Amino acid sequence: MTTPLAKAAEKAVEELEKNPYYDKYAAKIAQLQKTSPEEFLARVEQKKNKVQSLQSLRKERQFTSLLKPKENIQTGVGAQQVPLDKYMKVETVKDMTADEIKEIWLKYHIQKEVIAATIPAAEYDKMVEQANKIPLFLLPLPRSQGYEFIVLQHHFNTVHFTPLICYQVHKENAPECLTVTNYTEFKDDKGIVLMRGEFDKNTIDAKEAQCLANQLQLYYNQRDPEKLKLMETFTFTPEAFKHQDLIKQIETLSL
């Protein structure tokens, strides 16, 4: 007798078979379906939600128009970083646990037009290590007629994102559509880094800002061989880099 769980898994596989990358992962999919159908369905649902999110982004916004260059450019260590004390009194919370600090940080930002998160120290260290090797990279952002490429650049504890069209024209004076700041005040003793991302609401919205932040983690933290290879190609052999390979990665199903 076929159980409802088995029927759901069979239907999920039928959908997966439509994916051009199915053959590559067929053996892993079959094994996971056999050993843990609940986990298999959970992963399929998670991937489905991500795809739907990308599709909704693609429907909502056109490509960015050329923006004006930044004014009053500042340089140097932390020139544009707002101190953490503006958002959280370090002395007040320094004796709290990591979980308590995390809760305060997220609650403070929940009603504000920014994105925020906490990053485990080990993951942040991996990101910094990779950023030192590859400080500049591209990310695809879904648009109504395809994808728009966004340039990201690491600078000390910040990551600056700007539309490629603006970067090509204005270079270092290109205006950011998103600036992610990582606060490391609690990294050593609490094991967490506080992340805050401010975005230009005339260029992207909160959902798009979160999409870029998620991709930042995927490429700089997870050490996926295919993603690492693409980043290295972009940096060290740019003549071999293909933008379409970047788009394939964001659309590839990976269980």
Write the pLDDT tens digit of every residue in 186-220: 999 999 999 999 999 988 999 999 999 999 999 99
pLDDT of residue 38 exceeding 70, the answer is no
Which of 24, 41, 39 minimizes the C-alpha distance to 252? 24
pLDDT of residue 18 exceeding 90, the answer is no
pLDDT of 251: 81
Burial class (CB in 10 A: 0-12, 13-18, 19+), 121: middle
The helix/strand count (H/E) of the chain reads as: 11, 6
> What is the value of pTM for the model shown?
0.71
